[in-house]
Chains A and B, each alone.
Chain A
Amino acid sequence: MSRTTTWLTAPLCLYFVGFVGIPLLLIFFISLHDTPAMTGIGIKGYIRFFSDAYNRGVLLDTLLLGVETTVIDILLGFPVAYLYVAAPRWRRFLMFMVLLPLLTSTVVRTFAWVVILGNHGLINTLLAQAGLIGTPLRLLYTPGAVAVAMAQIELPLMILPLITAIGGIDAHIIEASHVLGAGRWRTLRRIVLPLCVPGLLTGTLLVFTGAVSALVTQTLVGGGQLAFMPFYIYQQAIQAQDYPFAACVAIVLLMTILLIVSILNALGRRSAGYVHG
């Protein structure tokens, strides 16, 4: 890289140092205080977090939400991405539908789910009118509802990398599989799926990190009883005024995500290695 191009990246570097790097260090520094009044340096906050089963539960629930969302998005996203690549005439329509959620604000999308899942919402009204239920089903404020709503919101981030991966497979490779006697199903399982593992990992990365950190959707669809890490941080910092402990929770979440991202990245590098010679 020439000196000029190096210097051109300077504004971005400054931005990152100023608005990401320094705040992170600051949070880490705050997390190393033992009392809400920021006195006493130590790791009492971390010990407190991991010694309490409730806290560990919040962390696990959050990770579980990430996994559920990712699984739903893979199951929903793969067929759409495959259709997008296989049926050129549907492309404009499909891409519009895929991108639509990205073009509306998170708050609007989340309230749409509240309207659909609420006690007097779309689903309960329809079921009641059809005479299938007497009292409204409890749909909103359940973990399942959060995962479903989250999956819808994160879906484009799964579909787009999958489209790139499936679209990048040489058409001759698929044809070779067919001429060698493999049907559609075997070709899908033995050729297409393995070759789009890099795209799948990218999508997983984006969806998972998005799902575990989406405060608004988790809180509005999950309601007060379900606690996830982002809301827990908010609660500790704003309601309990315990900044050091809030910082601890934040750092724990961050480190967990970093760990998972590095594992996915390592897997991604290996799969990219065998897919692209």
Chain B
Amino acid sequence: MPPSSDTGQNAANIRLEGVSHRFGQTDVISDVSLDIADGEFVALLGPSGCGKSTLLRILAGLQEQTIGRVLIGERCVDGLPPRTRGVGIVFQNYALFPHMTALANVAYGLEAVGISRAEALVRARDALAGVQMTPFGERKPRALSGGQQQRVALARTLAIGPRILLLDEPLAALDKNLRLDMQLEIRRLQRALRITTVMVTHDQEEAMGMADRIAVLNAGCVEQFDTPEAIYDRPETLFVANFVGAANMLEAELQGGPEGFRLHLADGTLDLAKPAPASRPGRVQASIRPEHWSVAPADGEGPTATVSIVTPLGPSALVDLVLSDGRPCRFSFPRAQGVHLTPGDQIRLGLQPGAAIRLFV
């Protein structure tokens, strides 16, 4: 496979400056600014309809943003057509040319940039080999499985050596095992080529597992742009806390005292070392992940709850609880701990030492 354009003088970092887009009267993208480094793998994560595809299409030049600037390698690309931007895009439905063989699909882009047919075919074979598709070169797309079509689409895009790879939900149509395989495959290729990549997904595990950084989008706005760990451990907004991973959202009253902070729930109290991001005493929403809880001694101060369902999930167990005010709550713990809970048990909850629970106003 031909290497992506040389690094260094041809750095492919991406900068979005205050990009907004409206379709008619509706704002689809609102003031998005992102800085993506050369060779970085960024996932755009968000619920359906939040504008992920639109943002990707703006990057590709398939859509012109209403306001703002797009820079690739420090050069403003506004108004430039897709083919002069050095981007490659893989669509969710692959968009392979149905009347051409896999090989011809891959060779198409090479011929389009003026490479002779013979040379294009040689390079296309290399590109197909790069995604383990050599035996399928002569097949038409309809005679390929979803995963194979996916590989051909990837090879077709990478064959022209784009500086930037854009992926719009590339794995959404694949079943779970294949999806995991392709996640590894894409990550491997991306690392090998050191190609700046932006991938749209609404699957948080996919984003977590593949991306260097994740931009969480909600209703056209970037809620948080950070590493997967930070997104999970330190969500900046209520939306991110809710959207990424499971979290119990509990109404609480935060009190600050000389010996630390205390969180008053409906029927119990939790001690906090350092509340964040909201830290002013008053009413807050506490986001407590299931693994943050622990079973506390019966005479503790934490909230009490009744066990309703225990679900063993391999190495950990997930417990559905009902708090004493009647609200549901989830708790998970490593099964190796030897805790035994059965439905109907009354337990008192406490926090795991160092649990980073997040507070929002």
A residues apposed to B, CB below 8 Å: 170, 172-173, 175-183, 186, 190-191, 194-195, 274-277
The docked-state distance in angstroms from the alpha carbon of A173 to that of B62 is: 12
Supposing A181-B112, A274-B140 touch, asked if A176 and B98 sit within 8 A by C-beta, the answer is: no
- Minimum-distance CB pairs A-B, first 7: A277-B142, A180-B109, A172-B95, A181-B112, A182-B112, A176-B95, A181-B83
CB-based nearest A residue for B90:
A176
Choose one: A170, A190, A195, A276; the contact of B93 (CB below 8 Å).
Answer: A170
21 contacts between A and B (CB under 8 A): A170-B93, A175-B95, A176-B91, A176-B96, A176-B97, A177-B112, A179-B87, A179-B88, A180-B157, A182-B108, A182-B109, A183-B83, A183-B112, A186-B112, A191-B97, A195-B99, A274-B98, A274-B140, A274-B142, A275-B98, A277-B141
Question: Is the CB of B60 closer than 8 A to any CB of chain A?
Answer: yes
Q: Given A182-B112, A190-B108, A195 and B98 touching (CB < 8 A)?
A: yes
Point out the residues of chain B lying under 8 angstroms from A276, CB to CB.
98
Contact B91 A172 (CB under 8 A): yes
Contacts of A275 in B (CB 8 A): 98-99
Contact check, B95 vs A182: say whether CB atoms are below 8 A apart. Answer: no
Chain A residues, CB < 8 A from B93: 170, 172
User: For chain B, which range describes its interface: under 10, 10 to 19, 20 to 34, or 35 or more residues?
Assistant: 20 to 34
The listed residue (B83, B91, B99) touching A274 by CB distance below 8 A is B99
Q: Known contacts A182-B83, A277-B140, A277-B142: does B99 contact A177 (CB below 8 Å)?
A: no
Report the minimum CB–CB distance from A158 to chain B (whole Å): 21
Q: Which B residues between 52 and 76 are near A, CB-CB below 8 angstroms?
A: 60, 62
CA gap between A172 and B89 in the complex, in Å: 10
* Inter-chain contact B83/A173, CB cutoff 8 Å: no
CB distance from A181 to the nearest CB of B (A): 4
Report whether B83 and A178 are in contact in the complex, using a CB–CB cutoff of 8 Å: yes
Number of A-B residue pairs at CB separation under 8 A:
71
Q: In the complex the two chains form, what is the Cα distance from A126 to B108 in whole Å?
A: 50
The chain A residue sitting closest to B143, CB to CB, is A277
Q: When the two chains form their complex, are residues B142 and A178 in contact, meaning their CB atoms are under 8 A apart?
A: no
Give the distance to chain A from B199, nearest Cβ to Cβ, in Å.
16
CB distance from B4 to the nearest CB of A (A): 15
Q: B156 contacts A180, CB within 8 Å? A: yes
Indicate if the CB atoms of A173 and B140 lie closer than 8 Å.
no
Contacts of A179 in B (CB 8 A): 60, 62, 82-83, 87-89
Nearest chain A CB to B65 CB, angstrom units: 17
A122 CA to B96 CA, complexed, in Å: 51
With most chain A CB atoms within 10 A of its CB, the pick from B88, B95, B109 is B95
Central interface residue in A180, A190, A194, A277, by most chain B CB within 10 Å: A180
Partner of B160, one of A170, A175, A181: A181
Please give the distance in Å from B97's CB to the nearest CB on chain A. Answer: 6
> What residues of chain A lie closer than 8 Å to B91, measured between beta carbons?
172, 175-176
The CA-CA distance from A143 to B82 in the complex, in Å, is 49
- Out of A178, A190, A191, which one reaches B82, CB within 8 Å? A178
Say yes or no: B98 contacts A180, CB within 8 Å: no
Of the candidates A175, A176, A186, A275, the one having the most CB atoms from chain B within 10 angstroms of its own CB is A176
Produce 1/0 per residue, B157-172, CB < 8 A to A: 1001000000000000
Q: Are A181 and B109 in contact (CB under 8 A)?
A: yes
Complex alpha-carbon distance, A179 and B87, angstroms = 7
- In the complex, what residues of A have CB within 8 A of residue B97's CB? 173, 176-177, 191
- Most chain B C-beta atoms within 10 Å of own C-beta, residue among A173, A181, A183, A186: A181
Per-residue CB proximity of B76-111 to A under 8 Å, as 1/0?
000001110001110101011111000000001100
Residues in chain B near residue A180, CB distance under 8 A: 83, 88, 108-109, 112, 156-157, 160
Name the contact of B95 in the complex, choosing from A170, A194, A274 (C-beta under 8 A): A170
Q: A176–B89 contact, CB under 8 A?
A: yes
Q: Which residues on the B side are within 8 Å of A277 (C-beta)?
A: 98, 140-143
The digit string for B237-272, where 1 denotes a CB below 8 A from any CB of A, is: 000000000000000000000000000000000000
Residues of A within 8 A of B156 (CB): 176, 180
Task: Give complex CA distance A180, B60 in Å.
Answer: 11
When distances are taken between beta carbons in the complex, the residues of chain B under 8 Å from A195 are 98-99
Closest to B109 in A: A180
Query: Shortest beta-carbon distance, A277 to chain B, in Å?
Result: 3
Check B313 for interface membership: any CB of A closer than 8 A. Answer: no
- CB neighbours of B141 from chain A (8 A): 277
What 18 new A-B contacts, CB under 8 Å, besides A175-B62, A177-B97? A170-B93, A172-B93, A175-B95, A176-B89, A176-B91, A178-B81, A178-B83, A179-B60, A179-B82, A179-B89, A180-B83, A180-B88, A181-B112, A181-B113, A182-B112, A183-B83, A195-B98, A274-B98
